[in-house]
Structure 1
């Protein structure tokens, strides 16, 4: 009887995920034609946009439609508490992102929309972090602490995902990886509505990635990145409660508060890295710039495709390190330390690893690796050796100390 039920669940989930993929896959060409007819493109500039041609940025419409329609018709939509509040939150973010993609909104207005959406699912759907499961020695926390912590988590994840949406296929692919892992854990723990939630998002993103993976013919825009970050934050928050479920706790113990950090490590790490880097220079963290991890990889000579695949692999490697430690029952605080240490080891760290290697071994290992990819460093600029790129595309605008820091930030 139980096997039959699992089989039926699996078939239903598979059909709904296929529906989500098909909706997204079919919608993108329609959106692209409409964007071309109305000249709704994202034009390249010199600040942070790396594409060379005008490309539509309305892919978030397809992600929104595919997720909302597929999850709504699934047998488990009613199992999501306060589903109407979730729909309301998604509509607010959808129209806010759409307007920003078309006419550009101020950061304050976008933040207001994000806070409103977060409030709807926190107070309407009960999506809230009320237990740290031993992290920092904390277990259950009071409601008045849980609410601001949850607001902070939602806003951070939304904007972290927005920040990594800079090269073809990166944000969408990280979203797929995270949603599949979240969904698998929810399914194992018997939380089928949340598993369906995750897999519907993964299906929608896969349909979008068919057109967004390098060379991209469409971008998700703020419409897509805000929706993606919001939906990932909900999965992360709901995941934290899994240690209360015996099926999950028997395997991973009290690690449910840390594993989401590992799953979303790349966007979170990139955000912290950029904040630290700009604070050191006295620059605003809200200004656009080419100082994200994916920018550094492009300056090292990686193509969009190779940089994206490399960051997929790094993200999976980190999860592969932390996951077995959670299975072994490592203390949550030690596990958090493992996430932080692994992130520092795996992702670029503003030249800290390069400086350490140079001091210990007296050898500029990063420069050697970079030459292998056709890039040479000097104190003032980064320039190609192979002649396949224009020197201007690799030069830093500022010289002197800032340029040296920028060159140093291209770490392993």
Structure 2
């Protein structure tokens, strides 16, 4: 039985390796490309809709290896994610109105939260208040699913980044579900991991295909649901259980650290400049790192390494500190990282401007010498 989730991972990976090139061929045949320009930083026309291949690989592997009696547990998620999937295809081919996207997201989240009762129940290991009232539980869950889904969508800006962050998340969750013998959710997480790895094979710099909203919206939706499931399953475990997490809230935040950090940072910057938090720009952390001279794959590796450090540190601190202190540590770390990044960016741009001014002075000096001659 424990072998089944691992087989789902391998199968999803192999299917992904086969499916992505076929999607690329269809895109080329129908001339459906992500055009460069505007906020987009790629220089050549590139196939989008990579999420179609991820979706196909994930669901074939998941449906093949999940137990028949466990499949009922996922029926509302499957229905909701299908809505998100088709919304993503429509948005990748012809941009969709943000209000219509929000309506679809609300409907999809309502299916899982309302019909299957996968929702936030309390503040969990923060040990604050008691269980939520039903109405608050539903509202908080809807807000979390939509917020995290869109936060993940915002980081899909450079080659390999969004896929790598999601792969790290599902690897951690799949491993934990295996340890507590929740095989249905283990198959779910590892199938998604395999599909993402198959996609990343073609998405690593230089990218042959992009994830697009088709992928980022479904994956963000999946991550938000898995976080709620993780919190509830951990709450149901005895505190003496070998794999009980003492700081499930702060660890959940650490697992999704970069999308949360980048979204809060970018919203704060925009509002401090008197702009809408949803206005487009190139102020994301990955954009800043690119402007400092790093290549796409270097930026992705840097962010991935920082994310891994955050997860390891949050888990380690959770063994000796309460969840509140670990959460405080995450907040302080985020503030320090943001301050350090801003300082470094200003320093790089200052030095760049200084070098440019020095070159201009040299050119002017040479021109004066020519005139004097």
TM surpasses 0.5? yes
Contact 1:277 1:350 in 2 (8 A): no
> Which ranges of structure 2 fall in alignment gaps of 5 or more residues?
360-373
Which residue in the other structure is 2:224 paired with? 233
> Which ranges of structure 1 fall in alignment gaps of 5 or more residues?
1-7, 355-364, 387-412
- Classify 1:151/1:274 alpha carbon distance in 2 versus 1 (closer, same or farther; 3 Å): same
After TM superposition, the structure 1 = structure 2 runs for residues 295-314 of structure 1, keeping only pairs within 5 Å, are 295-314=287-306
- Classify 1:59/1:345 alpha carbon distance in 2 versus 1 (closer, same or farther; 3 Å): same
After TM superposition, the structure 1 = structure 2 runs for residues 273-292 of structure 1, keeping only pairs within 5 Å, are 273-292=265-284
Which residue in the other structure is 1:19 paired with? 11
Q: Secondary structure at the match of 2:47?
A: coil
After TM superposition, the structure 1 = structure 2 runs for residues 296-335 of structure 1, keeping only pairs within 5 Å, are 296-328=288-320, 330-335=321-326
Structure 1 residue 344, shift from structure 2 partner: 2.5
- Pairwise CA RMSD of aligned residues? 2.4
C-alpha separation in 2, matches of 1:50 and 1:135: 40
Given candidates 157, 165, 168, the residue that maps to 2:156 is 165
Given candidates 28, 35, 56, the residue that maps to 1:36 is 28
Which residue in the other structure is 1:390 paired with? none
- Classify 1:48/1:246 alpha carbon distance in 2 versus 1 (closer, same or farther; 3 Å): same
C-alpha separation in 1, matches of 2:304 and 2:274: 31
TM-score (norm: length of structure 2): 0.90
TM-score (norm: length of structure 1): 0.82
After TM superposition, the structure 1 = structure 2 runs for residues 367-386 of structure 1, keeping only pairs within 5 Å, are 370=348, 376-378=351-353
Q: How many residues align?
A: 358
Structure 1 residue 285, shift from structure 2 partner: 2.1
Contact 1:28 1:208 in 2 (8 A): yes
Larger fraction in helix: 2
Structure 1 residue 246, shift from structure 2 partner: 2.6
Contact 1:239 1:257 in 2 (8 A): no
C-alpha separation in 2, matches of 1:57 and 1:348: 34
Structure 1 residue 248, shift from structure 2 partner: 7.6
C-alpha separation in 2, matches of 1:385 and 1:36: 47
After TM superposition, the structure 1 = structure 2 runs for residues 358-373 of structure 1, keeping only pairs within 5 Å, are 370=348
C-alpha separation in 1, matches of 2:254 and 2:47: 32
C-alpha separation in 2, matches of 1:224 and 1:148: 25
Which residue in the other structure is 2:261 paired with? 269
Which residue in the other structure is 2:251 paired with? 259
Given candidates 54, 69, 84, the residue that maps to 2:75 is 84
After TM superposition, the structure 1 = structure 2 runs for residues 9-158 of structure 1, keeping only pairs within 5 Å, are 9=2, 11-45=3-37, 47-76=38-67, 78-79=69-70, 82-135=73-126, 137-158=128-149
C-alpha separation in 1, matches of 2:339 and 2:356: 19
**Higher RCO structure (Cα 8 Å, ≥6 apart):** 2
Contact 1:57 1:220 in 2 (8 A): yes
- Classify 1:316/1:347 alpha carbon distance in 2 versus 1 (closer, same or farther; 3 Å): farther
Given candidates 219, 227, 235, the residue that maps to 2:210 is 219
C-alpha separation in 2, matches of 1:54 and 1:257: 41
Structure 1 residue 367, shift from structure 2 partner: 5.8
- Classify 1:71/1:80 alpha carbon distance in 2 versus 1 (closer, same or farther; 3 Å): same
C-alpha separation in 2, matches of 1:142 and 1:270: 31
Q: Secondary structure at the match of 1:137?
A: coil
Which residue in the other structure is 1:337 paired with? 328
- Classify 1:60/1:77 alpha carbon distance in 2 versus 1 (closer, same or farther; 3 Å): farther
Structure 1 residue 349, shift from structure 2 partner: 6.5
Structure 1 residue 350, shift from structure 2 partner: 6.7
C-alpha separation in 1, matches of 2:332 and 2:173: 22
